[in-house]
Amino acid sequence: MNKQSQLERLQREITDKGICSELALNAKNLVMGDGNVDSNIVFIGEAPGKAEDEQGRPFVGASGRFLNEMLEAAGMVRSDVYITNIVKYRPPNNRDPSEEEKQEFWPYLMRQLEIINPTVVITLGRHSGKCFISDLLISRDHGHARIVKYHEHELLVVPLYHPAAALYNGSMRQTLIDDFLLAAQVAKTGSLPEPKI
């Protein structure tokens, strides 16, 4: 079965099993993910917002426009990467997803990553980053690649600030772009960068 069909089957399983059924009740769409299923880069945000819920695609609102700019800085477009979220339904009034909601979706996110099998996972924002790196301090750790173990898998994770942070803070724009350029380099080599001396 090809990757697209496997992802569609996973999506059906999420609805059939009633994962986060309370969120599903208020959501217009299950926002599974978008982009190139063969990419070696997967971005992981937190949860869909209003625009994402309406269109059924992740990062299509204001944060998404900045994400596109980051990609452009690395000579990429959206179809070069795959983009998803930890929680795949919009929480009401854009509240933060709860621990329980993140935990309910976690095994499905892991299976999604197993199917896509990227070289690098780029988390967007501290909530998403903390799901992978429990002692994450985003101001210290942003842009630093880490190997994260999950069962028998090893994931190369680069935590980034959330693109929404750049919308209100000019200096954050450059930080995000620089961190993403580095993450794209890690994706190319598939290994941790040499430590700077």
Distance in Å, CB of 83 to ligand URA, minimum: 7
Near ligand URA in 38-77, by CB under 6 A: 45-49, 52, 58-59, 61, 63
CA distance 90 to 13: 18
Distance in Å, CB of 22 to ligand URA, minimum: 19
CA distance 125 to 39: 21
Contact flag: residue 143 with ligand URA (CB under 6 A):
no
Distance in Å, CB of 19 to ligand URA, minimum: 17
Residue 32 or 120: the one with the smaller Cβ distance to ligand URA is: 32
Contact flag: residue 35 with ligand URA (CB under 6 A):
no
Distance in Å, CB of 30 to ligand URA, minimum: 12
Give residue 106's identity as a one-letter amino acid code. Answer: W
Binding site for ligand URA (CB under 6 A): 45-49, 52, 58-59, 61, 63, 85, 124
